[in-house]
Structure 1
């Protein structure tokens, strides 16, 4: 059960959030619990939707965004986001099971996407304190400074939703996929391969 209020319907949400939820409903045909959770704060919902929409105009492919979301959800142990992005990765981004598994481990079987996902995982693990070598590797793989900034913002967007859903214990309204995050010496670890 959620630890924060999840408006049951669009009309149960604050009035200022309702137009945003109507737009989500029109686009998706449903309003997932994440959006209804965010609707508690119209400003938070608007900010989240605005940032997510802006990233769709970036130069990174949508599949790379899904790959990053899977990696970060695993790192942060967010079952809601893991469930949502496993579903979206498979059904919208058309990622196969092997790719989703690789993404959850902070990598990719797609050679051009692998450096982006690996860098995103390092950003998440180090809270942005990546090394010069980490930057050099992603740049040598052909990623521009603009794309590197987009990778970081994809990580930040994932952290935002991961933390909101973990704090709220948001009820999962996608096919459930659990993270396998473990703790070794108090540090989150990736899946064992």
Structure 2
């Protein structure tokens, strides 16, 4: 089975994906792929520089993520322009890795961590979808603390994603991550016992 793993920013997707791999799942990480497709020499980085200007590049030619983030989180049209550049490249790599892992071991659960799974309308790629959930206020507090953001900046980032309650409603599986790591671990292990292998 392949399963999309999503949630919202600062809900704890990385923790849950790590726990799933510790149980034995294979992981395809869309965030990691997103970083790979904008490395120096990649077509996506060239297109980003053409669209947003040389100011989004560091002196060594790498992407200045902070500068690009300031632009795209302040303007939905700019964020959409970035997504039109990066999403096709990310999807192509993601599908290739999913197919390879499935060929290698058809009975192994393949987890694909995709932060914007619903926003990018990717549900159809997966047999099931798991959402890592925390209430919005907890999400906001964690984001401010984790990234050192003001409340206003954190709100803007949350606003750029689908509301976490809507994601929770659409999910096949929900991991409530507002408690301790031990509680989350128990929830993931329970899921694994029931769904880990075909």
- Which structure: larger Rg? 2
TM-score by length of 2: 0.26
> Where is the strand percentage greater, Structure 1 or Structure 2?
2
Which structure would you say has the larger RCO, counting Cα contacts within 8 Å and 6 or more residues apart?
2
TM-score by length of structure 1 reads: 0.27
